[in-house]
Structure 1
Amino acid sequence: MFTHATFPLGPFVPYENNPILRPRGGSWESANLYNPAALVVDDEVVLLYRAHAEDIVSHIGLARSSDGFHFEREDEPILSPSEDYERYGCEDPRIAYIDGTFYLTYTGWDRHSAQLCLATSTDLHDWTKHGPMFESFDTFATVDPRGFNWSKAGVIVPVRMQGKWWMYFGEGAIYWATSDDLIHWTPGTPDTEPMYSPTPGSFDADLVEIGTSPVLTENGLLVMLTNGATRTINPDGSVDVDYRCGQIAIDPDNPTRVLARLQEPWLRPQTFEDRNGLVSNVTFVEGLVHFQDKWLAYYGQSDTTLAVAVADPKQPWGATLGS
């Protein structure tokens, strides 16, 4: 949590040497590597990223960097499918560090239902899985109902608000949940009552999804959106997507109230890697850290490579006006 930041956070500029991580052959991460959680541990940036081979069964790997741009990754994944509800993938991690424990939320995928799951660790290597977090909850209920359990994208606020622990979650629309122990979570509303929904006629007209861990700014609790997405269904039934990144500000004194939204995306597909891959035309942010006096936002490029965008507080919005 930071108080030397303001909403909106930025502007962010993609790093000129992206991608910073690519798949590597002959291994569990040989086909695609993307969608990282991020945090700072012992003066290093640590990424927990999703990757897989040609079988598209996702695992979560770990990489470290002393500068935020050049990473050394471990040879083996730190979290892999072991339970029936995740037998085809442990996907899209987000992470919080609270009182000596790492709380990792991720999507368990069985090729039918995507379920938001929780795992905990004290060392980033030995994990205790606590299973799916919500039952009979469809975060697409008001957007494009699935008709069965579907929940993704959970970020835990690393400080108590109003006497409880809070989580914001959802793909399709966004919801909130609270907890007394950080393990057992209760949604605050039915899935028919999201706290934030897509905005018709805007860059997030078709769906919204939680992105990075929250940041307490001088004018609200900032939550980056993984995407404000538009989707086009073609005559042959295929779907074209355009995943862009947004931001919202939440009232810490009334944590179910959205104060403001960024009217335009702060990141959108621009480069070859952003526009070409397993799922093309996607920038998918899940990791945000303040490191060496800069903000670093880590994102997946078309579900295939991993990149970073940089915001320098010395270059705020409009800093170039009049130059």
Structure 2
Amino acid sequence: MADWPHDALVLTPHDIDLSRSPLAGKIDAETYVLGAFNPGMTRLPNGNLLLMVRVAEALRTPVREQQVHAIRWHDGGYVLDAWPLSLVDTSDPRKFMMRGGGWKVMALTSLSWLLPVELDAEGRAVKAIHYDRAIAPRTDYQCYGVEDARITQVDGRYYMTTCSVSPERHSTTLYTSDDALDWTLEGIVLDHQNKDMLIFEGKVGGKFCAQTRPLGDLYFAYPPESEWRAGPSINLATSPDALHWKPYDKPGIRPHAQTMATARMGGGAPPVLAEVGGQQGWLSLWHGVEPSGVVGIYRTYWTLLDRDDPSRALATDHAPLLEPAPELLKPLENLLYVTDVVFTTGIADGGDHWVVASGEADLACRITHVPKDRIG
């Protein structure tokens, strides 16, 4: 782990009171916090930082009588679904895959909802947990949960993208707010399996701009001598109103052929205006995944994008900015179900440093102070 001025877990599953969960008293089964992680982050009007934490609430005993069970929102309440163990693959603790059918079909071992957690201005300590402002599924396209918030402030208004999960679609949904505590669901803004949507913290050419990451099972090869590697990449889109998005004609950040550490990639923190190495542009923190085991190794990288044409990279580094920190997780070793994952989801200006929020091991929330002169 790098020698950062501050690098610590600020929230863990032990800090979550499930008696105040949106699911409390609504299902006839014991649950526990599988993870409290991947927090969207923004600065509140009072100067404190807000984390919008993904709480993955799972069944304590998902397998009973040769069936595996999952939680699903339905018509204002929650139900338990059951599948015979003979029909599923449970090798990944975060999900189970249906066997057969001709294409990939999965279900989750937990249902996620979002919990607003207020930190002090430096992100070092929890000041309040706003259970009364939690965001839970409320419509069919969210029946398997609301995941991975990313928060941006543009022209004095807060915009929060989330992943909404259901059999209907794996979509990106948008919430808006005047204070980052009371949110209005605006609906679906990107359709099936377009994950990690990050709205830039400021407009580009008078338009909202966003990083997106469409997923698929098929990618076309670059020429053998290309500097790029085929696979998931970070694309761009623009919008007049943050609701209707047009894909950008030029590609965004792509996997480099020189390294396998970023063979798969996706957006991290919403891009913010910054000066890096004497150049001004949009600082983008993103995740790269090196193939390894079931989940892979997740690390955080940075790229500085041109202020007027964010498809153009001004500077980047193949070396990771943040790496998984197993030493931070030693007090939580009995809760670990994945390792080698740091998943950055928020950034805020701290003066001479950036306050960076990440999910650690799909388990806890990590805050790291990154000196600005360490990027570049």
Shared fold (TM-score, shorter chain, > 0.5): yes
The Cα shift of 1:51 comes to: 0.7
Instruction: Assess if the C-alpha contact under 8 Å between 1:178 and 1:188 holds in 2.
Output: yes
**SS class of match (2:141):** helix
Instruction: Assess if the C-alpha contact under 8 Å between 2:252 and 2:310 holds in 1.
Output: no
Determine which structure has greater relative contact order: mean sequence separation of CA pairs < 8 Å that are 6+ residues apart, divided by chain length: 1
Instruction: Report Cα offsets for 1:140-166 as digits up to 9, x if no partner.
Output: xxxxxxxxx311111112322223221
Instruction: Report Cα offsets for 1:122-175 as digits up to 9, x if no partner.
Output: 23343222222224xxxxxxxxxxxxx311111112322223221112163111
Instruction: Report Cα offsets for 1:73-125 as digits up to 9, x if no partner.
Output: 12345211112222111111111122342110011112674322111122334
Aligned counterpart, 1:13: 4
| CA pair 286-12 structure 1, distance change in 2 beyond 3 A | farther
* C-alpha RMSD over aligned residues: 2.5
Aligned counterpart, 1:161: 204
Instruction: Assess if the C-alpha contact under 8 Å between 1:106 and 1:118 holds in 2.
Output: yes
The Cα shift of 1:283 comes to: 0.3
The Cα shift of 1:250 comes to: 1.0
TM-score (normalizing by structure 2): 0.69
Q: Determine which structure has the larger strand proportion and give its number.
A: 2
Rg larger for: 2
Q: Determine which structure has the larger helix proportion and give its number.
A: 2
Instruction: Report Cα offsets for 1:37-67 as digits up to 9, x if no partner.
Output: 1111111111111112214111111111224
The amino acid of 1:37's aligned partner reads G
| Correspondence for 2:12 among 3, 22, 34 | 22
**SS class of match (2:255):** coil
Instruction: Assess if the C-alpha contact under 8 Å between 1:34 and 1:49 holds in 2.
Output: yes
Gaps of 5+ in 2: 22-31, 60-109, 215-231
The amino acid of 2:284's aligned partner reads V
Distance in 2 separating the partners of 1:182 and 1:132:
11
Distance in 2 separating the partners of 1:240 and 1:57:
19
Distance in 1 separating the partners of 2:3 and 2:196:
22
Structure 2 residue 238 is matched with structure 1 residue 184: no
| Correspondence for 1:207 among 256, 264, 281 | 264
Aligned counterpart, 2:70: none
Aligned counterpart, 1:301: 360
Aligned counterpart, 2:233: 173
Gaps of 5+ in 1: 1-10, 136-148, 234-238, 319-323
The Cα shift of 1:203 comes to: 5.1
TM-score (normalizing by structure 1): 0.79
Instruction: Assess if the C-alpha contact under 8 Å between 1:274 and 1:283 holds in 2.
Output: no
The Cα shift of 1:69 comes to: 0.9
Aligned length: 283
The Cα shift of 1:228 comes to: 0.8
| CA pair 112-44 structure 1, distance change in 2 beyond 3 A | same
Instruction: Assess if the C-alpha contact under 8 Å between 1:281 and 1:302 holds in 2.
Output: yes
Structure 1 range deviating more: 36-45 or 285-294: 285-294
The amino acid of 2:272's aligned partner reads V
**SS class of match (1:85):** helix
